[in-house]
């Protein structure tokens, strides 16, 4: 599994700066602001699946931001940079909820979605911090 992750990270790092983040933002905007992002597909779901999806989306955005932040600086992101990326990801999720409230596309404004967005971004930051601590790097 670690080898697969290393290959995926190297592949993403070859992309031009901010490409992964831009693509992620585009997908999130489509999925959250489109009135019917998956068309008429009836996906079997469990209660709360939308919150899990929000956490995954904004966790992925935080991950791409952290990766691109480091790429921009020519090194891996440090703890302060990763924190900023997680906060930006969560703030983007909050902003989308306000956009949903102001648009008439059949999407709903939910505070619980904001919490899920922040939880996903925060989880990525927590994993980032934990990995750094386990590796003996505090910056």
**Domain residues of the chain, as ranges?**
2-135
What pTM value is reported for the model?
A: 0.81
**Contact assessment for residue 49 and residue 112, using Cβ atoms and an 8 Å cutoff:** no
Q: Which two tokens stand for residue 43?
A: 């996906």
> Does residue 41 register a pLDDT over 70?
no
Mean pLDDT is highest, among 8-17, 33-42, 83-92, for 83-92
Residue 74 falls in which region: left (phi positive, over 0), alpha (psi -120 to 50) or beta: left
**Contact assessment for residue 118 and residue 111, using Cβ atoms and an 8 Å cutoff:** no
Residue 72, pLDDT score? 73
Residue bearing the bigger pLDDT, 76 or 81: 81
């Amino acid at each position: 599994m670690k080898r697969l992750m290393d290959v995926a990270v190297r592949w993403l790092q070859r992309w031009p700066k901010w490409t992964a983040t831009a693509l992620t933002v585009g997908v999130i905007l489509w999925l959250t602001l489109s009135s019917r992002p998956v068309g008429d597909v009836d996906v079997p779901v469990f209660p709360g699946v939308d919150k899990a999806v929000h956490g995954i989306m904004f966790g992925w955005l935080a991950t791409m931001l952290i990766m691109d932040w480091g790429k921009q600086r020519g090194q891996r992101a440090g703890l302060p940079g990763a924190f900023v990326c997680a906060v930006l990801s969560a703030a983007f999720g909050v902003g989308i909820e306000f956009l949903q409230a102001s648009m008439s596309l059949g999407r709903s404004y939910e505070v619980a979605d904001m919490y899920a967005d922040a939880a996903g971004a925060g989880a990525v930051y927590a994993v980032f911090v934990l990995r750094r601590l386990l590796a003996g790097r505090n910056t």
